[in-house]
Structure 1
Amino acid sequence: MDDLVLSENCMVEIQAIKDYLHKLFQIKDISELKYFLRIEFARSREGFEMYQRKYCLELLEDYGMLADKSATTPMNYSSHSNQLSKSTGTRLETNTEYRRLIGYLLYLANIRSKISYAVSKLSQFLKCPTDKHFKAGLRVLRYLKSSLAQGLFFSTKSDFEVIGYSDSNWAVCPNSRRSITDYCFFLRTSLIT
């Protein structure tokens, strides 16, 4: 019963905010959000989910990869011989197509956190990409094919407990010998950053 009262109170507050914004900016409420900026939204009693299945399919079609075999990981992490560096592969004649691909992947990485490391690594080669870098970018697309419906889920049953994880690898970059550090924070079970 408390959930119902809380929900009704929230709806009253939301409507008050909409009315206030309408007075200031002449906004228009166009109904429940389902698709916006190539992001799909789904609601249920359990929570709210954001994903980019349609956008991933469009990219796979653009790159002629709908029939390609999917990959189980965004990158090949298994051996040091497969690590990418500036000297890996043959330099591309132009970096335009590589930059375009990385731009798409950067947008997807906002919701698909599992590709963040791979996209960050590939972004290091925007100035002088090679065929190996481009092939690694296409592998990220093949990975996305294997997990089209994955995205971010925000649970309605959150007690506002923040949990954080971090990891670092000292002097791992083969080009600069810089360390790599990454982190993620969850609001209970929902990834927030």
Structure 2
Amino acid sequence: MQPPLGYSVLDGMVCRLRRSLYGLKQAPRAWFEHFSSVITDAGFNPSDHDHALFVHTSSRGRTLLLLYVDDMIITGDDSQFIDFVKMRLSDKFLMSDLGPLHYFLGLEVSSTPKGIYLSQEKYVQDLLSHAALTDHRTVDTPMELGVHLRATDGEPLADPTRYRHLVGSLVYLGITRPDISHAVHILSQFVSAPTQLHYAHRLRVLRYLCGTTSRRLFFSRSSPLHLQAYSDETWASDHSDRRSLSAYCVFLGSSLIAWKTKKQTAVFCSSAEVELRAMATVTAEVT
């Protein structure tokens, strides 16, 4: 690091930074500490489950503030306190109020009298445009039934960068698309050394998305606050290491709020053991 032009430093002397500079390693930490102190003084408390989530509770209701770098969402029951928080933040930071939430980090939010829709339609369209498919053929499922992929299937790709980038994009798309969770989980296992066959199955997921770009999650305003959880497993389904696959989904009333597909960490000798492990995983998620 060099001192600024016009400022000379004697040999053996160093400069002391009185404030963090954008781009330095300590800058994000310094920014978050400063923001946390401001928002804590306003009455918020950090959540035990997410350090970027701040909660304020009073007799008038609860207010939530979710921070991602320097973008934030503020919501809650107490509209007066929300106005106070906006004013407090405006005094401390140069900020803009974009109004009701419609778009955030690639997520599209649509509020209706019946409930809230959450989607990533624009993100899917950008992904398909970047993938540069040569035609608009579609398929009904993201992956063929009964497919078992191995690391040694097919010829290795000369340049795996494109495969890795698109699979990473599909992982982020899984935030609102549980229907591709299983296929993305399978394809993610081969990012270190993908082959032509893996690339073909990745193209199938893209063709599936091409025909389902408008699919979205719906959170009903009239949905009962009743938790329901489902889990399933496939015993020794991976032909390479004979580990089993677990999956679960959690509903709050009629709204899907959590889901996951993951290979189990150990090999079990019976399907009963695998079922118990899958049940333990979803129980921990519900808890």
TM-score under structure 1 normalisation?
0.86
**Which structure has the larger Rg?**
2
Structure 2: any 5+ residue segments left out of the alignment? 1-60, 63-75, 259-287
Cα distance, 1:12 vs structure 2: 5.6
Counterpart CA distance in 2 for 1:116 and 1:14 is: 37
SS in 2 for 1:192: strand
Counterpart CA distance in 2 for 1:14 and 1:140 is: 43
1:60/1:66 contact within 8 Å kept = no
Q: Which residue among 148, 159, 162 is the counterpart of 1:83? A: 148
1:99/1:126 contact within 8 Å kept = yes
2:213 aligned with 1:148:
yes
Equivalent position amino acid for 1:45 in 2: P
1:167/1:181 contact within 8 Å kept = yes
1:48/1:154 contact within 8 Å kept = yes
2:151/2:193 contact within 8 Å kept = yes
Counterpart CA distance in 1 for 2:158 and 2:114 is: 50
Cα distance, 1:28 vs structure 2: 3.9
Q: 1:162 to 1:128 in 2, by over 3 A?
A: same
Equivalent position amino acid for 1:55 in 2: Y
Q: 1:130 to 1:22 in 2, by over 3 A?
A: farther
Q: Which residue among 175, 189, 211 is the counterpart of 1:110? A: 175
- Give 1:44's aligned residue: 112
- Give 1:54's aligned residue: 122
Structure 1: any 5+ residue segments left out of the alignment? 1-8
2:237 aligned with 1:172:
yes
| Paired-residue identity, % | 37
Counterpart CA distance in 1 for 2:88 and 2:134 is: 47
- Kindly provide the CA deviation profile for residues 15-66 of structure 1, in whole angstroms up to 9, marking residues without a partner as x: 4135236425645431111122122111101100111111111121222227
Query: Which segments of structure 1 move beyond 3 Å, counting only runs of 4 or more?
Result: 9-12, 24-28
Counterpart CA distance in 2 for 1:187 and 1:12 is: 20
Counterpart CA distance in 1 for 2:130 and 2:97 is: 33
Deviates more, 1:105-114 or 1:12-21: 12-21
The structure with the greater share of residues assigned to helix is 1
- Cα RMSD after superposing both structures: 2.1
- Kindly provide the CA deviation profile for residues 76-101 of structure 1, in whole angstroms up to 9, marking residues without a partner as x: 11x4xx42111111111222111101
SS in 1 for 2:186: helix
Q: Which residue among 194, 198, 211 is the counterpart of 1:129? A: 194
1:71/1:139 contact within 8 Å kept = yes
Q: Which has the higher contact order (CA 8 A, sep 6+)?
A: 1
Cα distance, 1:125 vs structure 2: 0.4
- Give 1:23's aligned residue: 88
1:22/1:28 contact within 8 Å kept = no
- Give 1:13's aligned residue: 78
Cα distance, 1:180 vs structure 2: 0.5
Counterpart CA distance in 2 for 1:59 and 1:126 is: 18
1:98/1:126 contact within 8 Å kept = yes
- Give 1:4's aligned residue: none
Equivalent position amino acid for 1:60 in 2: L
TM-score under structure 2 normalisation?
0.59
Counterpart CA distance in 2 for 1:186 and 1:44 is: 20
Counterpart CA distance in 2 for 1:58 and 1:165 is: 33
Counterpart CA distance in 2 for 1:14 and 1:152 is: 26
- Give 1:119's aligned residue: 184
1:57/1:66 contact within 8 Å kept = no
Cα distance, 1:147 vs structure 2: 1.1
Deviates more, 1:138-147 or 1:19-28: 19-28
Counterpart CA distance in 2 for 1:13 and 1:126 is: 46
User: How many residues are aligned here?
Assistant: 183
